[in-house]
Amino acid sequence: PTLEKELLPLYFGWFLAKRDEDGMRKTSHEFLEQLGNLKAFKKRLLPYGCEDKQKLDLLKYFAKSPNILHCTAKYCDYGKVLGSEEYAQQEAVKKAYSKGYTLHISALFATPKTVGAQVELQPDQLLVWPADAEKEVMPKDTFPKGSRAHITLGTAADIQDVQTGIDLLEFIKLQQSGKDGEHLGDLTGAVAGKVSYYDNGMWLLNLSRKLEVKSIFSGYYG
Ligand code: A2P
């Protein structure tokens, strides 16, 4: 018998359960609708390529949304990415594979490029988080492990999904340097929380009640 080589996925990650995925898409729409209607947002449309006080439909602006909502743990590109073989062979990864996890979402954010959810990884989830995930995209900065964890909810035209985690790290970098953003409004209902503005069209909603979504850790083969 021939010994088959194990195939590596496009990426490993936590995939939202169908029902929670539908809920998350609704929450994302609600966030963009309420954010777009904030007076403070309407006055700051320039970073979104619009004149101030013009109408901007954020649901249309973020034209693309991933087919399957997920939180990427390790991007492998079917093994082309250095270290993906080692990652897949880790005991913690094998053990986590096909297991259920609850993802904790503490904030939603929008920038001129992406809209996403900040995921607060729990200790058992951090076991499968790559040590170099943050350094990989921001080599000059230091972040707590797991800082890049997010769910891409949408991207503007011509923007790659990978940008969402980079945008999230940009918020965290500003927070680390003591710039917590300007409190410019509040959202209500399912997306209740404080909205802060961080310049350059960067908006962050700190949720009053953290969202919890069910997910399964697995590989996506495309
Ligand atoms: P994200 O995790 O921010 O959503 P693609 O379709 O471009 O191949 O991407 C598939 C998934 O892998 C997306 O979820 C994407 O971004 C993520 N991804 C793409 N490139 C990278 C990368 N270099 N590092 C980490 N994640 C990546």
**Residue 183 falls in the annotated catalytic set:** no
Give the Å distance between the CA of 106 and the centre of ligand 1: 21
What pLDDT does 203 receive? 98
What pLDDT does 1 receive? 63
What pLDDT does 166 receive? 98
What pLDDT does 54 receive? 80
Give the Å distance between the CA of 202 and the centre of ligand 1: 21
What pLDDT does 138 receive? 97
Give the Å distance between the CA of 71 and the centre of ligand 1: 9
What pLDDT does 185 receive? 97
pTM summary value: 0.97
User: What is the complex's ipTM, to 2 decimals?
Assistant: 0.97
Residues in contact with ligand 1 by the CB-under-6-Å rule are: 10-11, 66, 72, 75, 152, 160-162, 164-165
- pLDDT less than 70: residues of the chain: 1
**Residue 70 falls in the annotated catalytic set:** yes
Q: 67, 70, 75: which to mutate for ligand 1, most atoms within 8 A of CB?
A: 75
**CA-closest residue to ligand 1 atom 21:** 162
DSSP for the chain, written as a single string:
---PPPPP-SEEEEEEPHHHHHHHHHHHHHHHHHHHH-HHHHT--GGGTS-TTS---HHHHS-B--SS-EEEEEE-GGGTSTTHHHHHH-HHHHHHTT-EEEEEEEEEEE-SSEEEEEEE--HHHHTTS-TTHHHHH-TTS---TTTT-EEEEEE-TT--TTHHHHHHHHHHHHHHTT---EEEEEE-GGG-EEEEE-STT-EEEEEEEEEEEEEEEEEE--
Q: What is the pLDDT of residues 153-186, one digit of tens each?
A: 999 999 999 999 999 999 999 999 999 999 999 9
